[in-house]
Homo-oligomer: A and B are copies of this chain.
C-alpha cells in the first residue's frame, strides 16, 4: 500500500487522530454497571488493555470498575485526548463546554434526543456543533455507538457485539452511519473469524461524517479493506475525498448504501435527518472509484472475507473442480452470470487427469467423479496438475456434503492444502458443507471456504473487479478553467440563442442558423446558409410549435422559405392572437445521425449531474440513460457512452455507420464542465435532440434549454 496523497479539506479543523488513537480517555457519566452505556466502554477498555489513562467521571462515585473516579472532567488530573459522553441530551451542552475548558480534543456523544427528533433537538445539536467548532473539539455523534481502534486498543463504544470478549485485531475498517448496523456487521465479521482494525458509527453526523471517517481510515497502514454503510449524505466532498484516497492506496471499498428503492428512500427519510441522494447518482460515483456496492449483508461479508486472503485474481478465468457433474454445470452458470469466464484446460493437463481417473470429465468444469472423495491422493494429484497448468486465475473446488463428515473431510482438506502449499500463489476457493469451526480450518490453511458455490463465485467476481480497478490508471482530475460571466435573465431561463451560444463555447455546436424578422429576411438568410433549410417560429408563448404550423422542414429554395414564413405570419396569429412572435429561426437542415439527449440536473447531495442517453420515445420508455457527477473527462464520457444498452446504434450496429462518439464525448465533458463551473447558478441544461453524425461529422444541438437560479 502506498502512502496517502489525497488530503481532505477540513477547513483548518484538527484531524481525527485524537478520536481514533487517543492517548488518554475520560468517560463522563461513568457507571459501575457493565450493561449501561457509561459502563460498557470501561469494561472493554480494561479487557483490551488500553495503553493509557482511563478517567471515569461521576460525581457520585469515588471508584468505578476498579478505577479512581472524578467528580467532573475539570478535575481529571492529566491531559484527555478523547471523552466519551454517556450523559443525557439535557446536560450534553454543558459537558461539551467543560470538555473544551479542560482541553479535550475529541468527544464521542452517545446520547439521543438531537436532530433525529427534529425541532428542539435540531436546535440543541446546532448549538453543540457551534460550541465544539469554536472550541477546537471534534465531535462524533450525537446518537451514535462510538468508535474503536484495535491497533491502539481503544474501545470507545458500548456496542453489545463485543460482549463475548474483545476479539483480536483484523485488517478490515468499518465506517457506518447506523450504530445498530455497525454492531451487527462487527458481530458477523467475528462469527466468520474476521477482525477489524478500526470501526466507527457516525450517528447524526453533527461534525464528523462517514466520509471523513473513511478518509482517515484510508490513510492507515493497518487495514486492507474499507467498509461503509450509508443512508444519506449531507455533503459529497468528504466521501469523494475518501474514495480517492482509498483508490490511490489500493484499498478495496465495499459500500452498503440503503434507501435504494422508493420504499427504502421513504424509510430513510423518516429515519435520519439527512438527505438521500438519487440512487443512480450513487451508483455512478461508486463505479467511477471502483467501489463495490453490496446489496445484502451476506454479500458484503462474503467479499470482505474473500479480500482477507490479500490476493486478487490476475484475470477472470475460473477453473471448477467438482465431485458432481450437475453442480459443475450450475457453477458454470454462476461464473457466466458473474461476468467471469470458464478457463480452458490445456490438452496436456486433460491427459494427466485422464491418467488419474479414466472416466473423468477433464474439461472445465472438471469432474473427477466421486473417486476423489475416498482417494485423496487423486485429489492432490489433480490439483497439482491443474495448478501447474496455470490456466485459471482462480480455482473453485466443490466438495459439497463430503466435507461434513470429519473422517472423510479432514484428509480431503489436507490433500487440498498440500497441493496449495506447493502452489501458494493460486487463489483457491472451496465450496463445502461443514460446521463453522471446520470452515475456519480452511482459512488457516490459506484457502477460502464457502458453503453455497454461488456465493464463492460472486465474491471472486468482486475481487476481479477490484483487480481491474487497481490495474487501470487513476482517473485524471478534470480541470475547471475560470468561468465566463453568465448572462443571467430575471426569469431564470436563458433564451435559445444565448443557451446555444454558451453550449457552442463548450464544444457543442448548433446548426448554422439565424433569426429573421420577416419572410424576406428569412429568404436572404436561407441563401447564406445554403439549402435545404428548416424554419421555426420563435415565441416565448408557443410551446408546441408543430401543432400551430410553426415548423417547416426541408425548404429547398428562397421562394419556399418566403412562402413558409408568410404562411406562419398569417396563420399563427389567427390561432393564437396573444402570442408574441420574436421572429423566425432559419436553420441548416441536419440530416442523418443518431438523436440523443444530454442534460444536467442537480442532486441534493452531489450537485450537478450529467445524464446522457439516446433519444426517442423508446429509449425514454426503457430508461436507457447513464449519469455521472459533473465534471467528467472525455475519457470518462467515452466510458459512459459505452454503458447505455443502445450504444451499438452509435458504434455501428449490423453494418450501420459508426458515429462521431469522440465528438459526443467532448460534448458530454463540455456540458459537465460548464455545469460545474456555474454550479451555483445553472440548475438545468437540456440538449434534446443532440444529433451525433456519422464518421467524424461531429455533433449538433438542435434544441437547448438552460435554466438558472433566479437572481436574488
Binding site for B on A (CB under 8 A): 112, 117, 160-161, 163-164, 176-181, 183-184, 187-188, 191, 229, 231, 256, 258-264, 266-268, 270-272, 295-298, 323-330, 332-337, 341-342, 359, 361, 363-365, 367, 370, 400-402, 404-405, 433, 452, 454-455, 616-619, 621-622, 624, 645-646, 648-649, 653-654, 656
Contact = CB atoms under 8 A, between A and B. Distances in A.
Q: Nearest 4 pairs between A and B by C-beta? A: A180-B324, A178-B326, A261-B336, A264-B333
B267 A328 contact: yes
A179 B161 CA distance: 42
Contact of A363 (B270, B337, B618, B653): B270
30 contacts: A112-B359, A160-B405, A177-B326, A180-B325, A180-B400, A183-B401, A184-B433, A187-B404, A259-B332, A260-B333, A261-B336, A261-B337, A264-B330, A267-B325, A267-B332, A268-B329, A271-B326, A271-B329, A271-B361, A272-B325, A296-B455, A617-B649, A617-B654, A618-B618, A618-B619, A618-B646, A621-B645, A621-B646, A622-B624, A622-B646
A454 to B, nearest CB: 4
A332 B184 contact: no
Contact of A258 (B264, B329, B359, B433): B329
Contact of A266 (B332, B433, B624): B332
A327 B178 contact: yes
A430 to B, nearest CB: 15
A297 B342 contact: no
A112 B361 CA distance: 14
B622 A649 contact: no
A298 B267 contact: no
A648 B270 CA distance: 34
Contacts of A180: 323-327, 370, 400
A205 to B, nearest CB: 13
A472 B51 CA distance: 68
B401 A161 contact: yes
Contacts of A336: 260-264
Contacts of A295: 333, 337, 454
Given A452-B298, A622-B645, A335 B263 contact: yes
Contacts of A181: 324, 326-327, 330
Contacts of A656: 617
A266 B332 CA distance: 9
A256 B452 CA distance: 14
A623 to B, nearest CB: 10
B268 A617 contact: no
A361 B270 contact: yes
Given A267-B332, A618-B649, A621-B646, 17 more contacts: A160-B402, A179-B324, A180-B324, A184-B433, A191-B433, A258-B326, A258-B333, A259-B329, A263-B335, A264-B332, A295-B333, A296-B455, A298-B454, A616-B618, A618-B619, A618-B646, A621-B648
Contacts of A367: 271
A429 to B, nearest CB: 15
A115 to B, nearest CB: 13
Contact of A184 (B262, B327, B341): B327
Given A333-B259, A622-B645, A231 B326 contact: yes
Contact of A617 (B260, B624, B653): B653
A240 B191 CA distance: 45
A324 to B, nearest CB: 3
Given A180-B325, A361-B270, A263 B333 contact: yes
